[in-house]
Structure 1
Amino acid sequence: MGMGGQNGEDCGGGCVKPEARYYSWDEVTKHNLKTDKWLVIERKVYNISSWVKRHPGGTRVISHYAGEDATDAFKAFHPEPNFVRKFLKPLYIGELAADEPHLDRDKNEQQVEDFRALRRTAEEMGLFNSSLVFFGLYLSHILLLELLAWATAWYFGTGWVTTIIIILLLATSQAQAGWLQHDFGHLSVFRTSKWNHIGHKFVIGHLKGASANWWNHRHFQHHAKPNIFSKDPDVNMVHIFVLGETQPVEYGKKKLKYLPYNHQHKYFFLIGPPLLIPVYFTVQIMKTMITRKDWVDLAWSMSYYARFFWTFTPFFGFFGSVAILTVVRFLESHWFVWVTQMNHIPMEIDHEKYRDWLSGQLAATCNIEPSFFNDWFSGHLNFQIEHHLFPTMPRHNYHKIAPLVRSLCSKYSVHYEEKGLLNAFRDVVGSLKKSGDLWLDAYLHK
């Protein structure tokens, strides 16, 4: 199992301390199988094989680090690490041997240590502390949009012009509520997980009609291993698109042609932005809540639909309200897809390369130039690099840590990419076209 490091010692009263166990990286990296999972946090080795199914964040996200050093991921996802460590104690099986490096697979130890020093600096600067005023005002502007939509129907009636205004107000509130629930989901708004949990249920459930648990289990995988096939659900395109430079060639060589991928940059406009939220997400969310018997999330979700139809049925009737909701989802979906994909789709998308936290996040992520509109439009997800490095940092502090991140990346020649909003949109289409062309070349090659 491992390498014995010390003999048993008499601890008084006739008991004997168990023999300390020390392991090499060669042994740790072998334990990354479906039923056999080890990971390392701060040189301590943990066997999570049996416990993984009870992991509150889901089985998959923690499994993605099996056989690796998970120190930076552990710190990134847990705003209350001392509380979480009590769950690790029963899983502890030993430590890395004294002559073993801190990191697996020849990762740059000095680069990793400098990143960890940057995190400590951010903590000392108070950058992980949220402003309740900021988030209170943000929530207020979402509720104001909802109120204005109802007031418009009540005061001006249901003509074409007012209906369009109502739809735009509701679509805007839905998109902005999406960014706010994202904040709550990362436990960065309140200082206690209990209130963040309730806040998240309210925003994503009552204001959007979705499921907090569904979002958490999906989104945290994306943060753990962004743009990694089989580990990031956001790049699981179920054969509709081929992404990056590796997957298109693999599909082409295998003569896989579920769709004409050389035209994917065109049919993206018909399949991606219009259908993701109204069709794919809606069906997946409802199916997940029912199959997992997540009745609490289902109740929160139903409260959104009850409120929506109670508010607008008196003005538009039931079927008219259904039509408005459908159009709102359609517009919100366009907004959501462009904002979420502009930071990742044009970047590297590939199989697992076992990079350190900084290198892995920067390879998969880019920023959009900050401005008042870009910040508001994207919910500060234009600072995607900083968000991925420090997911529990509140968004209003991203601009403060960004110069320090740039400096660290420059020191180690880690590419830090930032571009304009329109260029980012264009690069989404350009990257799809490039991948489609790679597929066609491989597909036609004999």
Structure 2
Amino acid sequence: MDGDKKYITGEELKQHNKEGDLWISIQGKVYNVSDWAHEHPGGDVPLLNLAGQDVTDAFIAYHPGTAWQYLDKFFTGYYLKDFKVSETSKDYRRLASEFAKLGLFEKKGHITMYALASIALMFCVVLYGVLCCQSVWAHLGSALVLGFLWIQSAYIGHDSGHYQVMKSRGYNKFAQFVAGNSLTGISIAWWKWTHNAHHLACNSLDYDPDLQHIPVFAVFCELPTLDFLSSNVCCQGQFVFTNILAIVFKEKIPR
């Protein structure tokens, strides 16, 4: 019965928002995933970023329907007293439902095959221009075509990395390997791990892997003062020349 349920508030849930004390709620039920976070198939970064919050939309978006059966073992026995679906979430769910009805989420593998065929054609052109031609203009043209090839392969690598373009996981993995590992020299497994975490912890200075660029990029939570810059960035400038771009944020991005 409803009167026998135990409740906590959203503010109380927020207290459990760190490693070792990590609670989340899904559709008003509170779960303790503190000890299991490192075993999460998607890594602990998404859980750490969303700790102490309702994660219903993220759970639905990133998990198959079979994942629901595993939640009960993490249930704390508590329900979220002030749980409600925000207007933003309602709009998002309505939009997703409309897109699904229109068939916009259906995989259209033939389009990707056309893209792979164009990549193969461009690759042949590049090989011919580099290996069989002595003209500087031919080499410059090959470089231009190679640039277009990399652009197209990046699109294929991204979309197949989300398993959204081919008809099966096997075909998606094939497209990932061709577009990622073979053509651009990037580990597609590493990219998928960081990119999925980026989507769940988008622009979080603490947990978004796409913002962890030191020493190439330096990201600050607060705008550094001139004294800080002179003592930490420019103090060795007369001896060592560095190419570091500091991206600064005056206000910390909330989680």
TM-score (norm 1): 0.49
Deviation, 1:85, is: 2.5
| Corresponding residue number in structure 2 for 1:72 | 57
Distance 1:22 1:184 in 2: 42
**1:113 maps to which of 75, 81, 90:** 90
Distance 1:234 1:160 in 2: 37
Which AA in structure 1 matches 2:186? A
CA contact under 8 A between 2:48 and 2:207: conserved in structure 1? Answer: no
| Corresponding residue number in structure 1 for 2:197 | 221
Say if 1:349 and 1:220 are closer, same or farther in 2 by CA, change over 3 A: farther
**2:120 maps to which of 133, 137, 143:** 143
Say if 1:161 and 1:271 are closer, same or farther in 2 by CA, change over 3 A: farther
Which AA in structure 2 matches 1:65? L
Deviation, 1:253, is: 7.5
CA contact under 8 A between 1:142 and 1:176: conserved in structure 2? Answer: yes
CA contact under 8 A between 2:25 and 2:54: conserved in structure 1? Answer: yes
| Corresponding residue number in structure 2 for 1:368 | none
**1:56 maps to which of 28, 41, 64:** 41
**2:233 maps to which of 259, 283, 288:** 259
CA contact under 8 A between 1:21 and 1:93: conserved in structure 2? Answer: no
| Corresponding residue number in structure 2 for 1:353 | 254
Distance 1:59 1:182 in 2: 22
| Corresponding residue number in structure 2 for 1:11 | none
Say if 1:238 and 1:145 are closer, same or farther in 2 by CA, change over 3 A: same
| Corresponding residue number in structure 2 for 1:101 | 83
Higher relative contact order (CA 8 A, sep 6+): 1
CA contact under 8 A between 1:184 and 1:199: conserved in structure 2? Answer: yes
**2:105 maps to which of 125, 128, 147:** 128
Which AA in structure 1 matches 2:34? S
Say if 1:242 and 1:202 are closer, same or farther in 2 by CA, change over 3 A: closer
Deviation, 1:42, is: 1.9
Distance 2:227 2:3 in 1: 49
Deviation, 1:242, is: 5.5
Deviation, 1:254, is: 7.2
Distance 1:32 1:21 in 2: 20
| Corresponding residue number in structure 1 for 2:238 | none
More helix by share: 1
Deviation, 1:239, is: 6.0
Deviation, 1:215, is: 0.6
CA contact under 8 A between 1:21 and 1:95: conserved in structure 2? Answer: yes
Distance 1:188 1:248 in 2: 38
CA contact under 8 A between 2:215 and 2:244: conserved in structure 1? Answer: no
Q: Deviations over 1:209-232 (max 9, x none)?
A: 211221112112221222221122
CA contact under 8 A between 2:24 and 2:55: conserved in structure 1? Answer: yes
- For residue 137 of structure 1, give the secondary structure of its aligned residue in structure 2: helix
Structure 2: state its 5+ residue gaps: 235-240
Q: Is residue 18 of structure 2 the alignment partner of residue 33 of structure 1?
A: yes
Which AA in structure 2 matches 1:75? I
| Corresponding residue number in structure 1 for 2:186 | 210
Structure 1: state its 5+ residue gaps: 7-19, 104-108, 261-266, 273-344, 355-446
| Corresponding residue number in structure 2 for 1:13 | none
Deviation, 1:193, is: 3.9
Distance 1:153 1:234 in 2: 34
Deviation, 1:206, is: 2.2
| Corresponding residue number in structure 1 for 2:73 | 90
Distance 1:254 1:117 in 2: 51
Deviation, 1:24, is: 2.5
| Corresponding residue number in structure 2 for 1:373 | none
- C-alpha RMSD of matched pairs (Å): 3.1
Say if 1:144 and 1:240 are closer, same or farther in 2 by CA, change over 3 A: closer
More strand by share: 2
Deviation, 1:69, is: 1.1
Q: Deviations over 1:191-214 (max 9, x none)?
A: 544543443234212232211221
Q: Deviations over 1:425-445 (max 9, x none)?
A: xxxxxxxxxxxxxxxxxxxxx
Q: Deviations over 1:66-101 (max 9, x none)?
A: 1111122223334xx20332343432334524x423
CA contact under 8 A between 2:154 and 2:180: conserved in structure 1? Answer: yes
